[in-house]
Structure 1
Amino acid sequence: MSMPSSPPPTRTPASVLLLCLACMTLEGYDVIAYGAALPAMLADRTWHLGIGQASLLGTLTPIGMLAGALLVGVLTDLVGRRRLVLASVALFSAAMLLCAAVPSVPLFAIGRVLVGLGVGGVLPSIAALVYEYSPQGRRNLNTALAFAGVGLGGALAAIVAATAVPGFGFRAEYLIGGLGALAVLPVAFRSLPESRVFLAGQQEPAKPRFAVLFARAHLVATVLFCLTTFASLLVLFGLYTWLPQLMRSAGYQLGSALGFLIVLNLGTAVGPLLVGRLADRIGSQRAIAGSFLLAVVGISVLSYPLPTMVLYVAVVLAGVGTVGTQILINVFVASRYPVHTRATAVGLTLSVGRLGGILGPLYGGALLSAHLPTAMLFYGFAIPALAGAVLVVLVPRARAAASTVPEQPGLTISS
């Protein structure tokens, strides 16, 4: 039975882009908040945090994100993406307020898991909504526009850490994030549309999905996509957690170290727009490889005692090469599978990638605990970025049967 078709979108509704941008800004703030506030938390004598315990706390949000992404894959066909976005935003806003109020590390750990659970639920649903409501020639760019919120939110988290935290304590970081999410929630409830996938899927019989990913035609691509996402998120979460502390180990004061985190996130907000537009022109694969290489150059340059402005440029390159890369990977995966398996494909690669996100903070903590030379600390993050560039280049070209599947509105990307 064929699905009743609807005209493909010729333009993206402004309400979709703006609300998705707002949700991703909240997501970026909440994920970066821990790394931004970490120097103040390590200096707080009442909690007695050490590098090892801080590393473990840094893994909790990615663990929650993994669980959230898996739950979305189970629930999306039952309740729709709109309800999942609303529930996820409500969850991570409440969890941020919990982190601001708790008196002890164990309760704070619970809050960070819940933050990850909410973020993990909202991120793939937002990616799906933008993809589904975008014309084919603007999918990379529109996705980059919405995901620019990750960098904006991260920059806001670093600004709050540099301005409010010194006077009011690290709890202010989490309080402001929680209140911001509560302000966006009523607007999203009124104006966020339902997913085209969910609406169209209610009229279509179920098809086999997971087995297709490991069939002969897609097996190599599936494995390489999973490994590429793993490398991308390992670098991303490792840098986001430890960049201020890495810069302090290189001799910078706390204020300057947080300044680098602000610039990193501004780079992730602006740079992916350019890379996304380029990807719509030259293809996702080449753009992703180039983006990974930007991260390699940017991270490596940070190890040298160069003028501050030069280091800021390097931080921008690192930002483009981390968040920008992951944005493009999501679109690349969606483009390489038949319509009815795209949801499962993106969900699988993100789930495996979350393991890299979980290991990233532990990896960075291990580098710092090993008391390596400063240059080696940064090279330690440049190496997995280089591996990601190699892996994505190895992804085989799409076979004609997979690449010529007719586009059906509503059956595109999710996780």
Structure 2
Amino acid sequence: MVKVNPAEIIANSKFNKFHLSLLVWSFFIIAFDGYDLVVYGTVVPVLIEEWNLTSVEAGAMGSYGLFGMMFGAIFFGTLADRIGRKNVIAITLIFFSLFTFLCGFAETPTLFSTFRFLAGLGLGGIMPNVIALLTDYAPKSMKSIIVSIVLCGYSVGGILAPLLGIFLMPTFGWESIFWVAGLPLLALPLMYKRLPETASHLIRTGKREELFATLSKVNPGSTFNKTDEIVELQATVTKVPLVGLFKDNRALSTVMFWIAFFSCLLMIYGLNTWLPKLMIEAGYALNSSLGFLIALQGGAIIGTLIIGRLCDKYGSKKMLVPMYASGAIALTLLGFGGNMFVIYLLIAIAGAATIGSQNIVQAYVSQYYPAYIRSTALGTASGIGRIGGMLGPILGGFLLSIALPIHLNFIAFAIPGLIAAIALALVPEKHVSKESNEDHTKLEQHTKMS
């Protein structure tokens, strides 16, 4: 009887069409997640005029979706460690795609806000599960870069929203860019067929044949028999996965990750909601202000890819701490203006250091915790982060309502960047999960030899 170690087979696999399929579908999902991130900021100047909203009311409306995300991230992240990531991904996709689509038919702020909240439940749950599934199946030498590539979809979707706003809104109205969000529903049947379930869940539920079929795709050179013994990584699994986040000296790390997520998402959602409006207040036209959103997301794509690759080589913490700090500096300088080239450059740096860093810290968290609580770790951190995300649009609306100088608005969004940098600096590397630590040690040895 042969012993089969799924974790070892996956870790030692080479990137192939199985990984490519998982990457493409994950990218597709995250792109629409990012689309939703920016779509409200794209239409908010129009909604303020059409529905006669104050800045505070518009900021509150932007927070309803984030309120739903907080609950969705925590609930669905924990649920996935019980019923499987694949099933939860399908459920959450239906939630966010359907209700974002319905936002385009809302005729009142109340109905619009209700749909945003319901869409937020799905949006909050889908990100942690997609990242956890990617981490589960990525080859050990490519974990961060694969997650980084997929999380670029976040910014691709973020670029698509203002682009469609520029081209569609003048002809079809603001409603049209919400209708686009219904496209993932059409792809759901094929996506569900193609996505794998995580190996640890297949082992727990006794689905040996499905596990062996999936491992054969992960490593086409492997063959399996029904009598093979499956070796599962032993872990102190608890009936309440949340408790595992505080076991084995992980309490400090967990709290620091929560603070970093909270601070960074406050910056991200505040900027994506209010950057166009802030730039209009600074004297730019609506289309130019939407162009700044595109620059923000473009910087995030470049930053995510570069930082992701460097994290695989040097370690996530060493790269992320200075990136958060540089984002705070860029935002502070942005408030003092300059020529158009300088403005675009600072916005791109801010995008790389806020959205890009937030993308990578999710990969870091997914590797920091062991597989049996991975979705829970990401879900709870994202859920706590969404509280900061909710405060971002509210804070921006409040600051605009009291008519502060523009540079003080940007400084207010820069301060959380410094807090995130400090929090992440306090995360002890020595408590990283055993399997991730071993993988990184082997990779460092390989890099030194080569």
TM-score of the two chains, using structure 1 as the length reference: 0.91
Partner of 1:221: 253
Partner of 2:305: 273
Q: Residue type matched to 1:71 in 2? A: F
Q: Which residues of structure 1 form unaligned runs of 5+?
A: 410-415
Out of 58, 63, 66, the residue aligned to residue 54 of structure 1 is 58
CA shift at 1:184, angstroms? 3.1
CA shift at 1:67, angstroms? 1.6
Tell me, in whole angstroms, the C-alpha distance in 1 between the residues paired with 2:366 and 2:337.
41
Instruction: Work out the percentage of aligned pairs sharing the same amino acid.
Output: 33
Q: Residue type matched to 2:39 in 1? A: A
Out of 281, 297, 304, the residue aligned to residue 336 of structure 2 is 304
Equivalent position SS for 1:398: helix
Asked if structure 2 preserves the Cα contact closer than 8 Å seen for 1:301 and 1:311, the reply is: no
Tell me, in whole angstroms, the C-alpha distance in 2 between the residues paired with 1:385 and 1:406.
27
CA shift at 1:216, angstroms? 7.1
Tell me, in whole angstroms, the C-alpha distance in 1 between the residues paired with 2:126 and 2:372.
21
Tell me, in whole angstroms, the C-alpha distance in 2 between the residues paired with 1:107 and 1:337.
39
Asked if structure 1 preserves the Cα contact closer than 8 Å seen for 2:135 and 2:367, the reply is: no
Partner of 2:47: 41
Tell me, in whole angstroms, the C-alpha distance in 1 between the residues paired with 2:188 and 2:168.
24
Tell me, in whole angstroms, the C-alpha distance in 1 between the residues paired with 2:434 and 2:356.
27
Equivalent position SS for 1:170: coil
Asked if structure 1 preserves the Cα contact closer than 8 Å seen for 2:74 and 2:376, the reply is: no
CA offsets 1:195-229 (integer angstroms, 9 cap, x no match): 23322343579822433433472222222111111
Asked if structure 2 preserves the Cα contact closer than 8 Å seen for 1:336 and 1:398, the reply is: no
2:10 is equivalent to residue 8 of structure 1: yes
Partner of 2:215: none
Asked if structure 1 preserves the Cα contact closer than 8 Å seen for 2:316 and 2:364, the reply is: yes
Partner of 1:157: 161
CA offsets 1:3-62 (integer angstroms, 9 cap, x no match): 962212423411100010011111111121101111111121xx2222111111111111
2:374 is equivalent to residue 370 of structure 1: no
Equivalent position SS for 2:429: coil
Tell me, in whole angstroms, the C-alpha distance in 2 between the residues paired with 1:343 and 1:123.
10
Tell me, in whole angstroms, the C-alpha distance in 1 between the residues paired with 2:249 and 2:304.
31
2:125 is equivalent to residue 93 of structure 1: no
- Relative distance call for 1:282 and 1:175 in structure 2 (3 A) is same
Asked if structure 2 preserves the Cα contact closer than 8 Å seen for 1:294 and 1:320, the reply is: no
Equivalent position SS for 1:48: coil
Partner of 2:281: 249
- Relative distance call for 1:255 and 1:129 in structure 2 (3 A) is same
Asked if structure 1 preserves the Cα contact closer than 8 Å seen for 2:368 and 2:436, the reply is: no
CA shift at 1:355, angstroms? 1.0
8-17 or 118-127, larger mean C-alpha shift: 8-17
Paired residues, number? 402
Tell me, in whole angstroms, the C-alpha distance in 2 between the residues paired with 1:239 and 1:103.
26
56-65 or 325-334, larger mean C-alpha shift: 325-334
CA offsets 1:49-102 (integer angstroms, 9 cap, x no match): 221111111111111111211221343144322222222222222112211112
Q: Which residues of structure 2 form unaligned runs of 5+?
A: 207-231, 440-450
Equivalent position SS for 1:103: coil
Equivalent position SS for 1:8: helix
Q: Residue type matched to 1:57 in 2? A: M
Tell me, in whole angstroms, the C-alpha distance in 1 between the residues paired with 2:78 and 2:244.
18
TM-score of the two chains, using structure 2 as the length reference: 0.84
Asked if structure 1 preserves the Cα contact closer than 8 Å seen for 2:131 and 2:366, the reply is: no
Asked if structure 2 preserves the Cα contact closer than 8 Å seen for 1:141 and 1:276, the reply is: yes
Q: Residue type matched to 1:355 in 2? A: I
Tell me, in whole angstroms, the C-alpha distance in 2 between the residues paired with 1:68 and 1:243.
26
Tell me, in whole angstroms, the C-alpha distance in 2 between the residues paired with 1:339 and 1:81.
12
2:142 is equivalent to residue 123 of structure 1: no
Asked if structure 1 preserves the Cα contact closer than 8 Å seen for 2:73 and 2:380, the reply is: no
Partner of 1:412: none
- Relative distance call for 1:11 and 1:369 in structure 2 (3 A) is farther
- Relative distance call for 1:174 and 1:331 in structure 2 (3 A) is same
Tell me, in whole angstroms, the C-alpha distance in 1 between the residues paired with 2:422 and 2:276.
28
Tell me, in whole angstroms, the C-alpha distance in 1 between the residues paired with 2:293 and 2:436.
43
Asked if structure 1 preserves the Cα contact closer than 8 Å seen for 2:245 and 2:254, the reply is: yes
Q: How does 1:205-216 map to 2 (within 5 A)?
A: 207-208=237-238, 209-215=241-247
CA shift at 1:408, angstroms? 11
2:193 is equivalent to residue 202 of structure 1: no
Q: Residue type matched to 2:252 in 1? A: V
Q: Residue type matched to 2:199 in 1? A: R
Partner of 1:358: 390
Partner of 1:330: 362
Q: Residue type matched to 2:29 in 1? A: C
Tell me, in whole angstroms, the C-alpha distance in 2 between the residues paired with 1:66 and 1:408.
33
Partner of 1:292: 324
- Relative distance call for 1:345 and 1:92 in structure 2 (3 A) is closer
